[in-house]
Structures are given as C-alpha cells and as structure tokens.
C-alpha cells in the first residue's frame, strides 16, 4: 500500500464520514441510487431526495415497475434529469437481463444506462469489495493537486494521466476505506474553494501545497462565452387551475411537466398584449380575459443561460386543444408538487403565495428543493 493510500485509510477511520444514509450497507441498489444522485450534486442537497426516493422505491423491482412520472416527480428540483430517466432504464435492464439481481461484474455494471467508469467502480467497491479506481470531479482535484498534474482535467490527455494515477494508487486491501477516504478528502478538505490544507492527512506529500499552487490546480475549464437563450412561458390560469405540458423525453428538462412556451419577441411580451393574446388564442383556442407580464427569471444551465419571460393569462373558457394528450389542467397547489423544472416550480410557488390561501405541505416542502 502506498503512503498516500495508507494515510487516507487511517484518516478515514478516524475522521471520515460514516453517518450518510447510504453508508453501512452492501446493498448495490442503495449504493447505486446514491452514487447517481451524487453526480454533480452536493451531499447536503442529495440526502432528503435520497431518503424520499428510497422510501418510495426501496428496491430495483419497484423502481423498474414505477410510472415514469412518479420517478420524475421525486427527482424534481435535483437537476440533471437524464439521471432519473437512466436510473429507471437501468432498473428495467436489471430486471430483464439479470433477473432483478444487480450485476457483480464491473463490466456488466458499466453497461447499464447512466453508469460510467467511475460510478461503476464505486458501486463495485462498496457493494462487492472490488478493487477498482474512481475518478469523479473531487478525486480529479485531489490527484491534480497532490501530484502536480497540469492542465484542465476535462481534456482527454489530462484525464488519461489522472486515470493512470488513480489506478496505480488503489491498494490491494482496504479498498472500500481508501475509496471512501478519497471521496471524503475531496468533499471536506481538498475543496475547490477554501481548502483546509491544515487538516489534510496527505499535506506532507502534496506537491501543490509544497509549491504554494493549491489555488492554481487543477487548471480551470478554458473560458468560453456562455450563450443566452430566451423563452416566453405561459401561465394559463382557468379558475384555480393552471395548464401544464409534458416536455419531450430528449432535450432540456426532458420528460418533466412544464409551462407552455411560445415564440414571441421581448417587446411583444412587454408592450403588445394583443399579440400575446392572439398567440395564445391561436395555439390553445382559449378565451383570454386578461394578460399580465410577470417578473423575468434567469436560469443557468451548464452550457447556456435561459432568460424566462413569464406571462400570466386568465382564461374564461377552454377547448380540447388546451387539454389534449400531453397537457393537463391541474389545481395550482397540485401543479406545484408535480415533476417540474426548478424555475417553473419557483414561479408557481410565487403565484400561489400571491393569490393567498393555505397550500398543502407538499407546496411548503417544494420550497426547500429549490
């Protein structure tokens, strides 16, 4: 065992995290769900989602048999929704191809939808004691700093070097403690901002610490101009109900329910209410009483920002086009608890608060998810 691994294992036993809801189990299903939720999401955010998800879907068979809308509703607000879709696709593959038993072989785990090389290794290590290397974002940062690896970790050549390092460091024994220690180090000591070098168990051998380059490594992503997009979202309100549409499975917010969108210029939304009314009538066949622009919102995705211009439209009557397949009228409180994108949920919560009245606990709970 290398000195790096030995120090990590000892530190993890003394100071590492041991009370997370998915720890202390060999159940590959529970470990898998946690690892998927933890992709690009902090532990504190994941814990309540994980607990609700496991209570509703305690095993792979129930996840496989669930209605996709039920899965997406429990994921709503956690982001990166393809993870939820792939989770259920993988559950169905486990039932169909493996008789409902989670595969043990690393290669078989990696073939499941939504499971990459590092996630497969974490599952195999924690569930089956397999000797395998992980390389998530936190681990890339730890290795880049400790071994002075130059370059942006997302570049193929740099990533290959980090994988080679990661594989060479995995000990022959104590793999689970080592992997957990590596995760804990990146999450609680060797953090992206304000790293706690004074409490790091491998500080004595850290190249970045010795060279005073901790803040420089790993190299940041090369700067690119982040494009901006815009959309007009319609809050069609008929009495106490609002209209939601099911988004396509692929693309932004795939498979979630959302507010309808129309293509209109910003000036039309701000000043040309007649144009907005006309567009609503043409698309939905509703009688519009009044149209009111709401406060604009901005939502940041990984590769672009979305400027949302919401419009509230009170309608007097509806026809079948506004409630066709893939669209549904729901009471505002119930709509707020559906599988919605975070900015849409936030918008409906604001609307519910502005209209007054008591809302069910699900509405209050949704506030915590934003």
CATH number, residue 339? 3.90.79.10
193 and 64 housed in the same domain:
yes
Check residue 324 and give its pLDDT: 59
Q: Total structural domains in the chain?
A: 2
Check residue 365 and give its pLDDT: 33
Is there a domain that residue 223 lies in? no
Max intra-chain CA distance, the chain: 74
244 and 194 housed in the same domain:
no
Check residue 323 and give its pLDDT: 52
Check residue 356 and give its pLDDT: 58
Check residue 255 and give its pLDDT: 87
Residue 150 appears among annotated catalytic residues: no
Average pLDDT across the chain, whole number? 89
* pLDDT tens-digit map of 194-228: 999 999 999 999 999 999 999 999 999 888 888 99
Mean per-residue pLDDT, 43-60: 97
Q: Hey, which residues does 261 pair with through a beta bridge?
A: 233
25 and 142 housed in the same domain:
yes
146 and 43 housed in the same domain:
yes
Check residue 272 and give its pLDDT: 46
Is there a domain that residue 218 lies in? no
* pLDDT tens-digit map of 125-179: 999 999 999 999 999 999 999 999 999 999 999 999 999 999 999 999 999 999 9
Taking CA atoms, 5 is separated from 130, 163, 167, 205, 307, in Å, by: 16, 16, 12, 12, 47
- Residues 35 and 274: their CA atoms lie apart, in Å, by 50
205 and 241 housed in the same domain:
no
More confident residue, 302 or 314: 314
Confidence class for position 366, pLDDT limits 50, 70, 90: very low
Check residue 185 and give its pLDDT: 98
33 and 139 housed in the same domain:
yes
The boundaries of the domain holding residue 364 are 228-369
Question: What's the per-residue H, E or C state across the chain?
Answer: CCHHHHHHHHHHHHHCCCCCCCCCCCCHHHHHHHHHHCCCCCHHHHHHHHHHHHHHCCCHHHHHHCCHHHHHHHHCCCCCCHHHHHHHHHHHHHHHHHCCCCCCCHHHHHCCCCCCHHHHHHHHHHHHCCCCCCCCHHHHHHHHHHCCCCCCCCCHHHHHHHHHHHHHHCCCCCHHHHHHHHHHHHHHCCCCCCCCHHHCCCHHHCHHHHCCCCCCCCCCCCCCCCCEEEEEEEEEEECCEEEEEECCCCCCCCCCEECCEECCCHHHHHCCHHHHHHHHHHHHCCEEEEEEECCCEEEECCCCEEEEEEEEEEEEECCHHHHCCCEEEEEHHHHHCCCCCHHHHHHHHHHHHHHCCCCCHHHHHHHHHC
Percent pLDDT > 90 in the chain is 65
149 and 248 housed in the same domain:
no
CATH number, residue 141? 1.10.340.30
Is there a domain that residue 126 lies in? yes
Confidence class for position 333, pLDDT limits 50, 70, 90: confident
Last residue of a domain, one of 210, 245, 265: 210
Check residue 339 and give its pLDDT: 85
First to last CA, the chain: 43
Last residue of a domain, one of 175, 210, 245: 210
Is there a domain that residue 42 lies in? yes
Check residue 369 and give its pLDDT: 31
Is there a domain that residue 336 lies in? yes
Q: Is residue 360 scored above 70 in pLDDT?
A: no
171 and 272 housed in the same domain:
no
76 and 192 housed in the same domain:
yes
Report residue 89: phi and psi, to 5°. Answer: -60, -40
Q: Is residue 358 scored above 70 in pLDDT?
A: no
Q: Is residue 34 scored above 50 in pLDDT?
A: yes
Q: Is residue 269 scored above 70 in pLDDT?
A: no
Mean per-residue pLDDT, 28-51: 96
Q: Is residue 325 scored above 70 in pLDDT?
A: no
Exactly one of 35, 176, 292, 324 is catalytic; name it: 35
Is there a domain that residue 254 lies in? yes
Is there a domain that residue 35 lies in? yes
Is there a domain that residue 222 lies in? no
pTM of the full structure: 0.78
Q: Is residue 247 scored above 80 in pLDDT?
A: yes
49 and 134 housed in the same domain:
yes
Check residue 267 and give its pLDDT: 56
Confidence class for position 368, pLDDT limits 50, 70, 90: very low
Check residue 264 and give its pLDDT: 67
Q: Is residue 332 scored above 90 in pLDDT?
A: no
145 and 23 housed in the same domain:
yes
Q: Is residue 273 scored above 50 in pLDDT?
A: yes
345 and 248 housed in the same domain:
yes
Last residue of a domain, one of 149, 177, 210: 210
């Amino acid at each position: 065992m290398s000195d790096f691994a030995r120090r990590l294992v000892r530190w993890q036993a003394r100071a590492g995290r041991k009370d997370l809801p998915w720890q202390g189990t060999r159940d590959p299903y529970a470990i898998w769900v946690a690892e998927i939720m933890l992709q690009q999401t902090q532990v504190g955010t994941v814990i309540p989602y994980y607990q609700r998800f496991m209570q509703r879907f305690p095993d792979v068979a129930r996840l496989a048999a669930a209605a996709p809308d039920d899965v997406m509703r429990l994921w709503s607000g956690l982001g990166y929704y393809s993870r939820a879709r792939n989770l259920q696709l993988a559950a169905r593959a486990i039932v169909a191809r493996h008789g409902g038993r989670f595969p043990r072989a690393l290669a078989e785990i990696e073939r499941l939808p939504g499971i990459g090389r590092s996630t497969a290794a974490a599952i195999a290590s924690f569930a089956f004691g397999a000797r395998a290397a992980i390389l998530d974002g936190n681990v890339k940062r730890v290795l880049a700093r400790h071994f002075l690896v130059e370059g942006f970790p997302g570049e193929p050549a740099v990533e290959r070097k980090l994988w080679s390092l990661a594989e060479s460091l995995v000990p022959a024994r104590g793999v689970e403690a080592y992997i957990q220690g590596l995760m804990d180090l990146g999450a609680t000591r060797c953090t992206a901002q304000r790293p706690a070098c004074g409490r790091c168990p491998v500080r004595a051998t850290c190249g970045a610490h010795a060279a005073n380059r901790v803040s420089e490594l790993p190299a940041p992503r090369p700067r690119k101009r982040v494009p901006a997009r815009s959309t007009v979202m319609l809050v069609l309100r008929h009495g106490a109900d609002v209209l939601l549409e099911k988004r396509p499975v692929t693309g932004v917010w795939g498979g979630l329910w959302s507010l309808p969108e129309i293509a209109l210029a910003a000036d039309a939304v701000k000043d040309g209410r007649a144009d907005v009314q006309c567009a609503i009538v043409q698309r939905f066949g509703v009688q519009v009483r009044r149209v009111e622009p709401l406060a604009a919102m901005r939502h940041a995705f990984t590769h672009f920002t979305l400027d949302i211009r919401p419009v509230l439209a009170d309608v007097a009557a509806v026809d079948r086009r506004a409630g066709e397949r893939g669209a549904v009228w729901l009471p505002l409180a119930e709509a707020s608890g559906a599988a919605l994108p975070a900015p849409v949920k936030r918008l409906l919560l604001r609307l519910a608060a502005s209209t007054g009245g008591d809302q069910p606990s699900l509405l209050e709970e949704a506030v915590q998810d934003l």
